[in-house]
Amino acid sequence: MRVLYKKELSDHLDSTRYQILFVLLACIMIFAVNGAISTLSQAAQQTSDGQTAVSEFLFLQLFTTSGSNVYSFSTFIGFLGPIVGIMLGFDAINEEVAQGTLNRLAAQPIYRDTIINAKFLAGLTAVAIMIFTLGGVMTGYGLIRTGLVLTGEEVARIVMYLLMCTLYISLWMALAELFSVTSRYAATSALASIAIWLFLTMFWSTIVSGIAGSIYPVNGGGYQAQLNAISNYSLQTGLNRVSPYYVFSEITTILMNPNVHSTNVVSLLTSQEGAVASYLSFGQSLLQIWPHIVLMIAETVIFFAAAYITFMKREIRA
């Protein structure tokens, strides 16, 4: 297991594909952090002029603040992160079959499940190396540019956020490996993974809105329309959480903005009535996103388990 894991990890790190993805995300990171610093500098100037209030946890906003002409780092990760996972997993098995190396690999005195386990763990490690390297560089660059001092609370939130980015990308890698096992050609598995990514990221929320609107119409007025609006929102929220992109967005919102107490507007309005405005501690924020984390882990396990079972049942001809 260890030998095969090291071999797969070395293949990932030495591949041109991985290096291109790393450089692409590094360039995106630089543009995003520069745009965020520019936006925060303008906000700081307004604060010094007395136009806005001073905001705590200012450094965390480097990850979530958009520039005038560029999206935030968290937005880029949420949208482009799945591409990284798909690119690392779409040809994990079928490319071995096409090259004829899977037969020789399976002929070695190793358990069959060692092959797919090593491939997934190596891909997971490669993703973690990429994300934590970029996150560390971004943190250091932000500290140098802004002169801010990190608190322990901010460090914990940044580390947890990078772990969530790794989990999010690994979820899509597990899905890509599933299609790699079930599809004969690498192009087919890549297209299928990208199609699901685009559907869940760009079109699912529109479909959910239509479904909720047909079940709970919000046209008109009166008490029934108000009840329908609440039910409509609750149904949309529940269905939207089928999409990993939506779940990751909620995790980012709560984890990187301690002022956000919940992403559910209905429960937020209920719980905040008469409450004193305050920041959530890191532990309290974890309690808010714990169901989201469990959901993402469950989806990753389901995709990998399906790939594992399919691979174990398939015939490998010598």
What mean pLDDT value characterizes the chain?
Answer: 86
> Which sign, positive or negative, has the C-alpha torsion 68, 70, 71, 74?
negative
CB 57 within 8 A of CB 30: no
Asked whether residue 68 is domain-assigned, the answer is: yes
**Does the residue 272 lie in any domain?**
yes
Please write the tens of the pLDDT for every residue from 207-260.
999 998 888 887 766 777 778 888 888 889 889 999 999 999 999 999 998 888
Q: Which amino acid is at 297?
A: I
Asked whether residue 243 is domain-assigned, the answer is yes
Task: For residue 217, tell me if it sits in a domain.
Answer: yes
Check whether 53 has a pLDDT greater than 70. Answer: no
pTM > 0.85: yes
Q: What are phi and psi of 233, to 5 degrees?
A: -65, -45
The tally of domains found in the chain comes to 1
pLDDT surpassing 90 at residue 59: no
| Confidence grade of residue 265 (pLDDT, cut at 50, 70, 90) | low
pLDDT at 52 over 80: no
Is pLDDT of 64 > 70? yes
Residue 26 maps to a domain: yes
Residue 290 tokens, joined: 């714990």
The answer to the question of residue 218 being in a domain is: yes
Q: Is residue 318 part of a domain?
A: no
Cα separation, 113 vs 1, in Å, equals 10
Q: Which two tokens stand for residue 176?
A: 């890509």
pLDDT above 70 (res 74): yes
Residue 316 has pLDDT above 80, yes or no: no
CA 22, CA 14: separation in Å to the nearest integer?
12
Structure tokens at 304: 């990998």
- 72 within some domain: yes
| Helix, strand, coil percent content, the chain, rounded in steps of 5 | 75, 0, 25
Q: 189 pLDDT exceeds 50?
A: yes
Q: Has residue 163 got a pLDDT over 80?
A: yes
For residue 239, give its domain range. 2-313
In whole angstroms, how far apart are CA 204 and each of 71, 196, 208? 21, 10, 6
In tens, the pLDDT along 99-150 reads: 878 778 777 778 888 889 999 999 999 999 999 999 999 999 988 888 888 8
Query: Is the pLDDT confidence value at 307 over 90?
Result: yes
